[in-house]
Chain A
């Protein structure tokens, strides 16, 4: 079946370095993607989204890249901080605003 998945379950980075979290999707009809951050004991928090008619979108310290040719999505976090430590999920928005989440990547920031 169609799925949204992640390459790396855990990513450990040094504070101040840039982080890159990857996501692969298999539904070629997907046209909207979202990155969520989930801290321990909290619900997912919206970070940034991108539509398929774009290949890059920037927010504050975060950038999402979309490569439709290889069905790949990535989240880049600049100057990673301890507060960025969390699990990051990519999600595909289906028709009717239904979200299908990928498997998640845990980001650990070392001081």
Chain B
């Protein structure tokens, strides 16, 4: 299984709602990532988990809260979002965090969740 799955595919929420995005992989990867992609723009890194621990937070507002319950699952909890948070949210995984010395690990991307905040 070389697939990263994401649910839901589409999500519409109000600014007072609480929702969660889910990501799953069964490739035995130990690094997982959340990206945000606005229309006609490249993906921007939000969070990185390595061995279920948060490794990088790219100064993301606290209304986005990541969670890695186990090595196969990655969640993104959403609360009090703004309309400008509407975007495609992409999850990715890699075997582990690479380095120039050790190796570079290909990141496998899921199809994304299209989020609309009203």
Chain A residue nearest in CB terms to B112: A43
Interface members, chain B 13-41 (any A CB < 8 Å): 31, 40-41
* Interface residue B62 (Cβ < 8 Å from any Cβ of A): no
CB proximity of A97 to chain B, nearest CB, Å: 4
Contact A43 B109 (CB under 8 A): yes
Residues of chain B within 8 A (CB-CB) of A102 are 42
Q: Assuming the A-B contacts A96-B98, A99-B45, are A49 and B104 also in contact, with contact meaning beta carbons closer than 8 angstroms in the complex?
A: yes
Q: In the complex, what distance in Å separates the CA atom of A91 from the CA atom of B108? A: 14
Contact of A31 among B94, B100, B105 (CB under 8 A): B100
Interface check B81, CB cutoff 8 A: no
Chain A residues lying within 8 Å of B107, measured Cβ to Cβ, are 46, 97, 99
Q: How far is the CA of A43 from the CA of B106 in the complex (A)?
A: 14
Q: Given A32-B104, A101-B42, A43 and B97 touching (CB < 8 A)? A: no
Q: Tell me how far the C-beta of B24 lies from the nearest C-beta in chain A, rounded to whole angstroms.
A: 14
CA distance A102 to B42 in the complex (A): 7
CA distance A48 to B98 in the complex (A): 17
CB distance from B96 to the nearest CB of A (A): 8
| Extra inter-chain contacts (12) besides given A46-B108, A89-B42, A98-B56, CB under 8 Å | A36-B109, A41-B111, A43-B90, A43-B110, A44-B90, A93-B98, A93-B104, A95-B100, A96-B97, A97-B99, A99-B43, A103-B41
Interface size of A by Cβ–Cβ distance < 8 Å? 24
Bound together, the chains give a CA A45 to CA B109 distance in angstroms of: 7
What are 24 of the A-B contact pairs (CB < 8 Å)?
A: A32-B100, A42-B112, A43-B110, A44-B109, A46-B106, A46-B107, A49-B104, A89-B42, A89-B43, A93-B98, A95-B99, A95-B100, A96-B98, A96-B99, A97-B94, A97-B98, A97-B104, A97-B107, A98-B45, A98-B56, A101-B42, A101-B44, A102-B42, A104-B41
**From residue B15, how far is it (CB to closest CB) to chain A in Å?**
26
Q: Which residues of A contact B55 (CB under 8 A)?
A: 96
Distance, CA A91 to CA B90, complexed state (A): 16
- Closest Cβ of chain B: how far from A47's Cβ, in Å? 11
Interface string of A75-111 (1 = CB under 8 A from B): 0000000000000010101011111011110000000
